[in-house]
Amino acid sequence: MEGNASLISAMGESALKQAELAEAVNDFLRASGVEGTVSDRTVRNWLTGKTRWPHPRQREALEAVFGCTAEELGFSPPTARPTTTEPESSVRRRNFLTGTAVVAAAPILDLRPTSVGTSDVIRLRSGLDALMALDASRGGHEDLERSALAGADEALGKVAQAASQRIRQRLYSVAANYLSTAAWAAIDGRQLDRAQARLDRALYLAGMAKDPVVELRVWNSYAMLAHQRDTFTDAVDAGYAAQATTIARRDPFYGSLAHARTAVAHATLGDRQATIRSLGYAEEALGKATDDETRPSWVGFYGVAELTAMTAIARDRIGDSAEAEAASHKALSGIPVHFKRNRALATARLALTQVHQRDLDLACTSASEVFKLMSGNPIPGRMRSLLGDFYRDLITLAPDASIAREWGDRYRSEWSRA
């Protein structure tokens, strides 16, 4: 029997597992005054195609959860069969329907609670995806930060109306993710005090949600914030905290990210042995990760290309500039085009590896590409700082080189645009 590809796709887009869909449908049914009896097995029958046309109330609930018709979810009504049963008396049928309507309407009209359920959580999560897409293209900025804070406020405002403890935890998780997004926007814009406040609150909410994925996300951002504050031992400790989360120990994909972030922190401290060891752990873990897991949009940047880009940063910081340059080229060949900000950062890093090898012409050409990649958008504060590092190293290593002065004169206005 063929599976229901449309429903499978809809669940994937909404990041819903079978048990979560069952709960979402039951939430809707209970809100309508009907007992929720949908189980994992019920959902499995929908997915496998064993049940081709759910009961009417279940169809209504599914349509509410996904925001589309049952037919669009891959269900099809059975072919009508002719009946030989003698029609009921019109009077008898009318009396039966009238009586039934009175009984059925009571719980729907009078007893429907104004509770918040899984469908509300799904809607709030979709807003996160839109913000992540904007960040990938443009980078962190104040409008993104404000939108993320508004999403967190909306999620927290619904906690008191949650239909269950599990829904409350999911709302806390969504709020923590929105605050993490706001913090990330502040980090990218080098608004460090604001970022710290957002991360502190997000870590608290992640604990309330009992969500190890958000917890890892926060520690990952703490490590980056510590680097910007020049508290490099804190960056190492944040990396270790990320490694200690449940999800990093259970899923090698997240474990790889935590090890890679720790490697960059070790490199900043100049600990060559620890850097290479952490990079090895990150590469080994990513090799064990599977692609069939549904993961949140915030971590969509990470994969082989991003690990290679982080390897380039770490290698350059421990003095392996030639290896770092090769890694930067490899990363740029794999970072998706729509991650425009990440490609620009990797290009700036490439320029740094080249200037550290005193290949000044090529370095300046690479650095100039950053402005083309970010054309039409302000340069995020973190990227402006990185370009500042490039220019400082350029004039330090070759103070009398005309190309260094020319690059500064030509790009200073673009470099400083915010």
pLDDT of amino acid 292: 63
Please determine, for residue 411, whether its predicted confidence score (pLDDT) is greater than 90: no
pLDDT band at 400 (very low <50, low <70, confident <90, very high): confident
Q: What is the pLDDT of residues 357-385, one digit of tens each?
A: 999 999 999 999 999 998 888 888 889 99
Please determine, for residue 56, whether its predicted confidence score (pLDDT) is greater than 50: yes
pLDDT of amino acid 328: 97
pLDDT band at 93 (very low <50, low <70, confident <90, very high): very low
What 3-state DSSP class applies to 162? Answer: strand
Q: What is the pLDDT of residues 2-31, one digit of tens each?
A: 688 888 877 776 667 788 788 778 877 776
pLDDT of amino acid 297: 87
- Kindly report the CA angle at 145 between 140 and 151, in degrees rounded to 5? 135
Please determine, for residue 113, whether its predicted confidence score (pLDDT) is greater than 60: no
pLDDT of amino acid 187: 93
Contacts of 43 (CB under 8 A, 6+ apart): 18, 19, 21, 22
The dihedral region occupied by 377, where left means phi > 0, alpha psi between -120 and 50, and beta the remainder, is beta
pLDDT of amino acid 114: 59
Percent of the chain with pLDDT over 70: 88
pLDDT of amino acid 416: 63
* Mean confidence (pLDDT) of the chain: 85
Select the more confidently predicted residue: 382 or 215.
Answer: 215
pLDDT of amino acid 293: 67
Query: Looking at residues 99-107, what average pLDDT do you find?
Result: 36
The values of phi and psi at residue 92, to 5°, are -65, -45
pLDDT band at 417 (very low <50, low <70, confident <90, very high): low
pLDDT band at 330 (very low <50, low <70, confident <90, very high): very high
Count Cβ atoms within 10 A of the Cβ of residue 398 and give its class: 0-12 exposed, 13-18 middle, 19 or more buried: middle
Alpha helix segments (H runs only) across 229-292: 232-244, 246-250, 252-268, 272-288
Domain locations along the chain: 1-74, 114-210
Q: How many CB atoms are located within 10 Å of the residue 115 CB?
A: 15
Nearest to 336 by CA among 311, 312, 300: 300
CATH architecture of 1-74: Orthogonal Bundle (1.10)
pLDDT of amino acid 87: 47
Q: How many CB atoms are located within 10 Å of the residue 249 CB?
A: 13
pLDDT band at 401 (very low <50, low <70, confident <90, very high): confident
pLDDT of amino acid 92: 43
pLDDT of amino acid 110: 36
pLDDT band at 80 (very low <50, low <70, confident <90, very high): low
pLDDT of amino acid 115: 77
CA gyration radius, the chain: 27
Contact (CB, 8 A) for 293 and 251 = yes
Query: Looking at residues 299-327, what average pLDDT do you find?
Result: 96
Q: What is the pLDDT of residues 222-265, one digit of tens each?
A: 999 999 999 999 999 999 999 999 999 999 999 999 999 999 99
* Secondary element (H or E) of residue 217: helix 212-228
Select the more confidently predicted residue: 410 or 221.
Answer: 221
Contacts of 234 (CB under 8 A, 6+ apart): 222, 226
pLDDT band at 74 (very low <50, low <70, confident <90, very high): confident
* Secondary element (H or E) of residue 97: helix 90-109
Crossing angle for the helix pair 118-138 and 165-188, nearest 10 degrees? 10
User: What percent of the residues of the chain are helix, what percent strand, and what percent coil, each to the nearest 5?
Assistant: 75, 0, 25
What 3-state DSSP class applies to 116? Answer: strand
pLDDT band at 150 (very low <50, low <70, confident <90, very high): very high
